[in-house]
Amino acid sequence: TIVVLKLLCFYSKFVFINKIIFKLFQDKAKINITNLIEEFSQTLKNNITYEKIMSLLPDSYICRYFKPKDKWSGGYILEELKEEIEFISKGTGCNFKIIEGDDKRDIFRNSIVTSINKGYPVLFLDRGLNLAVIYGYRDNGNILLTRCYIDPCAMEPDFDTTIFTPIKDMVPFFVFMDNFVTPLPRESAVIDALKNVDVKWRGKKREVINNYNENGTILYGIAAYQEWISDLQSVKNILPEKINQIKFTSWWNSICIRNKRNTLVSFFRNLASDPLKDEDDLQYDELAKVYMQEVRLLKPICDREAWKYEYTIEEWDKYREEDIEIIKQLLENEKKAYQIISVINSRNN
């Protein structure tokens, strides 16, 4: 790892790119837009925290459940990423530009070279459709120095190793960061997110097409929990290869929700500690308590690290029943959280 970090420092032209990449190496689980903005903003003295960014995203407050056709998946879709970027931009003042499409390769290359020369890393989708970071280039931008989240398609023995990626082989989707402008006030940005929670909680669903070969349905809120529980209840006796799909999806959903809620606990406790409390601050304190209960509820599923193990039918049946009971409790807890969010929204119409 030390050798790799030295290579990164050698190839990265600007000091603050080195700082960003170093932090990303320290925690593999945070190769995402939230983590990158946090490191980027702190380097530029804007001090936008991971907790604040998560509080700006409506999906941080709800459950989402993605069902591609004929399988289960913990994946996300590009339309959601675009929506998240819009909320983050308004709440942080960090400007973004997305360029996508197979017919824009020259624009990709020129924009990436320009961004790196300015000292701004670029986000892209690796071949596993995970967010990853471009931090340097060779051959006028035809070869890019990338740090992937986890890219099994890259065939690298150690995914911490820098991958030299030809731009012609990349998924045609890039996110560029620019300068900072004045953001919405902190609580106004949070209220903006909470109002969108209200829409999604009531069972919104969306059909997904043209999502790089992973099409299907995404459910939100109550509908997401109900579908998740229903799937676990309906797959008591399935083939071992199918067990791997559903067990990973259940674990991945759980760990994502737990991470979001744990982050919101920290954020709302800070809001509620304001000595000049108003009624919303009291509600934020209640919201933090409810989310802390969810963090504790999900611990057994998350600690199981289902992705590491092959389950027998008997083991699967035992863990499946445990998951169902935990998710049912989680749904009841979410109803309490939604009631609190509804009160906050009613006062801020």
pLDDT in tens, 118-132: 878 888 887 777 778
pLDDT at 229: 92
pLDDT at 334: 92
Q: Work out the percent of the chain whose per-residue pLDDT is above 90.
A: 15
Of 22-31, 54-63, 119-128, 180-189, the poorest mean pLDDT is in: 22-31
Residue 87 has pLDDT above 80, yes or no: yes
Residue 55 has pLDDT above 90, yes or no: no
When pLDDT is cut at 50, 70 and 90, the band that residue 239 belongs to is low
pLDDT at 314: 79
pLDDT at 35: 60
Region 284-289: mean pLDDT is 90
Residue 287 has pLDDT above 50, yes or no: yes
How close are the terminal C-alpha atoms of the chain, in Å? 51
CA separation for the pair 112, 120 (Å, rounded): 9
When pLDDT is cut at 50, 70 and 90, the band that residue 159 belongs to is very low
Region 14-31: mean pLDDT is 42
Instruction: Give the number of other Cβ atoms within 10 Å of residue 325's Cβ.
Output: 11
When pLDDT is cut at 50, 70 and 90, the band that residue 15 belongs to is very low
Of 37-51, 200-214, 215-229, 322-336, the poorest mean pLDDT is in: 37-51
Of 22-36, 98-112, 135-149, 211-225, the poorest mean pLDDT is in: 22-36
pLDDT at 71: 64
pLDDT at 278: 63
Q: Which residues have CB under 8 Å from 76's CB, separation 6+?
A: 64, 66
pLDDT at 7: 32
pLDDT at 151: 47
HEC per residue, 18-73: HHHHHHHHHCHHHCCHHHHHHHHHHHCCCCCCHHHHHHCCHHHHCCEEEEECCCCC
| For the chain, counts of helices (H) and of strands (E) | 11, 9
The more confidently predicted of residues 2 and 140 is 140
Six-digit token string for 191: 């209220």
Residue 10 has pLDDT above 60, yes or no: no
Residue 17 has pLDDT above 60, yes or no: no
Region 129-138: mean pLDDT is 82
For the chain, the average pLDDT equals: 76
Question: Please, what is the angle between helix 240-272 and helix 313-347, to 10°?
Answer: 30
Residue 306 has pLDDT above 80, yes or no: no
Residue 124 in contact with residue 146, Cβ under 8 Å? yes
The more confidently predicted of residues 124 and 238 is 124
The more confidently predicted of residues 293 and 56 is 293
